[in-house]
Structure 1
Amino acid sequence: MTTGTDLDAEHWLRRWDAQQERYIPDREELFALALDVVDRLAGTPARLLDLACGPGSFASRAAARWTGAEVVGVDVDPVMLELARRTTGERVRWVDADLSRPGWTDAVGGGPFDAAVSATALHWLPEPALPELAQRLASVLRPGGVFVNVDTVLADPGRPRLAELTRALRVERTDRGLATGEDFRTWWDALADEPALADGFAERERRFADRVTGGSSLPAWERALSGAGFAEVGTLTQTFDRRTLVAIR
């Protein structure tokens, strides 16, 4: 996917983490909490899956915490995967696969995994895709395994005033922190100027040309995960509609 090797991937990953922390100031604490949840509910994992792993921020922290674990990061974005490979490298097995299609479970090597995590990524999936994602996730997690999702999970649309309030407050509070400095779009625009990633960006544009995105509500996640056979599903922490959602297989 690259046209050269003169790419300072560590620089871009540091910038990625910095701009993500402007959206979620307690991001590092949430990462650590999610890994604590895995420890408490599933024990030290032998195999851990990072769904929509991006440039590997979450997967790299899991690999550093559990040095004997097999950590697998899966994403469909070739640019993000290239940054992940060039930073965390072979300590994590990186898988190029689309979570909205059936083949990703085979691509990650099937189950059983002890845990799956995800951070600030799965909100890109449209809500109708959740039941199939949950079914496939359940098929690769062992009984007693755990799924931890740190993400924007919208409030119950059946309570429209409260749902709109949580969304509006989250946007307003986020906007305050974005008045200056680099944000998500600025980071992507700058990265697109890297010659070494030209092929990756061309492939990314092809893959995402007709992609449907959206947001998903808490009831939709609860229905999908419970319907897939997860025994318990609940919100561990919440700031407006940013949640740490936990499901036990």
Structure 2
Amino acid sequence: MKWDPEKYTQFSSHRDRPFFDLTARIAASSPGRVVDLGCGTGALTAALAARWPGAQVTGVDSSADMIEQAGALECAPPNLEFIRSRIEDWEPDAGTDVVVSNAALQWVPGHRDLLRKWAKRLDAGAWLAVQVPGNFTAPSHVLMRDLAASARWAPKLEGVLRHADAVAAPDEYLALLVEAGMDADVWETSYQQVLPGEDPVLEWVRGTALRPVIAALTAEELSRFEAEYAALLRSAYPQHGWGTVFPFRRIFMVARKTA
């Protein structure tokens, strides 16, 4: 699946906030090695490098386009590096003190098993901080799935959109981390985001949830699909004179290895 860094960062003020809400709960004072899994354009990874200038900070992403943009960051701190790799292939080395993954693991089938493995392999005292979207039952996603499953689009889009196992419930994440030997804090937040412009929810999902559909359809097909989908979104998320409210639920977990 191809990512568009420019489209992804279109709503960066909203997309970045959960990252800072997440990492603010990491109490590591002077870690030696920090890893950001699913680092995207690298701008937020650079914030980790600036926060911990004594740490070697590594951003990991499977997208060549994202890693290319990350590598071109202006004024990148000297303790920052980026590598292209799948999250599924990453394993914590000895001495890894902080692992962050922001809005990435929902794309990784079986990520619960990865979390268990990472938690068990991390050294005592290491931190694991993860945020995943919890909005798969929101109208934006339900309408997309229903349209993709309709008689008109199913021949092209059957099986393209994952949702049933994309993320777990907060209590499942909590149990998983505690049973793996971590002291865990898990919570959820619903952000009442106000988006500007015409069809802003469609513009938002073009950067993330709609990517599998974009990859599966021709340009002409995508134009027709988006026209139908946009009409549904306008009904579900009415525009006000001051913007369009797009509620977004997110699930957070911050844990420290105790044994």
The two structures have a TM-score, normalised by structure 2, of 0.56
Paired residues of 1:226 and 1:233 also in contact (CA < 8 A): no
Query: How far has the Cα of 1:140 moved from its partner?
Result: 5.1
Instruction: Quote the residue 1:68 is aligned against.
Output: 54
In structure 2, what is the Cα distance between the partners aligned to 1:34 and 1:122? 14
Query: How far has the Cα of 1:59 moved from its partner?
Result: 0.6
Identity of aligned residues (%): 25
In structure 1, what is the Cα distance between the partners aligned to 2:8 and 2:99? 22
Instruction: Quote the residue 2:180 is aligned against.
Output: 228
Answer yes or no: is 1:217 the counterpart of 2:168: yes
Query: How far has the Cα of 1:32 moved from its partner?
Result: 2.8
Deviations 1:44-75 (A, max 9, x none): 32221101111112211111222222101112
In structure 2, what is the Cα distance between the partners aligned to 1:18 and 1:36? 23
Paired residues of 1:115 and 1:141 also in contact (CA < 8 A): no
Match of 2:20 among 25, 32, 37: 32
In structure 2, what is the Cα distance between the partners aligned to 1:212 and 1:98? 20
Paired residues of 2:185 and 2:253 also in contact (CA < 8 A): yes
Letter in 1 for 2:11: Q
Answer yes or no: is 1:93 the counterpart of 2:81: yes
For structure 2, which runs of at least 5 residues remain unmatched after alignment?
145-159, 192-247
Letter in 1 for 2:178: S
In structure 1, what is the Cα distance between the partners aligned to 2:190 and 2:126? 22
Paired residues of 1:47 and 1:69 also in contact (CA < 8 A): yes
- 1:1-249 to structure 2, matched below 5 A, reads 16-21=8-13, 25=14, 27-38=15-26, 41-87=27-73, 88=76, 91-101=79-89, 104-105=90-91, 110-126=93-109, 128-131=110-113, 133-139=114-120, 141-153=122-134, 167-168=137-138, 171=140, 215-218=166-169, 219-235=171-187, 237-239=189-191, 241-249=249-257
Letter in 1 for 2:21: L
Deviations 1:90-117 (A, max 9, x none): 642222222223xx22xx7x12222111
Query: How far has the Cα of 1:143 moved from its partner?
Result: 1.4
The two structures have a TM-score, normalised by structure 1, of 0.58
In structure 2, what is the Cα distance between the partners aligned to 1:217 and 1:135? 13
Instruction: Quote the residue 1:199 is aligned against.
Output: none
Corresponding pairs, count = 177
Paired residues of 1:238 and 1:244 also in contact (CA < 8 A): no
Deviates more, 1:87-96 or 1:117-126: 87-96
In structure 1, what is the Cα distance between the partners aligned to 2:118 and 2:107? 17
For structure 1, which runs of at least 5 residues remain unmatched after alignment?
1-11, 155-163, 176-210
Query: How far has the Cα of 1:119 moved from its partner?
Result: 1.4
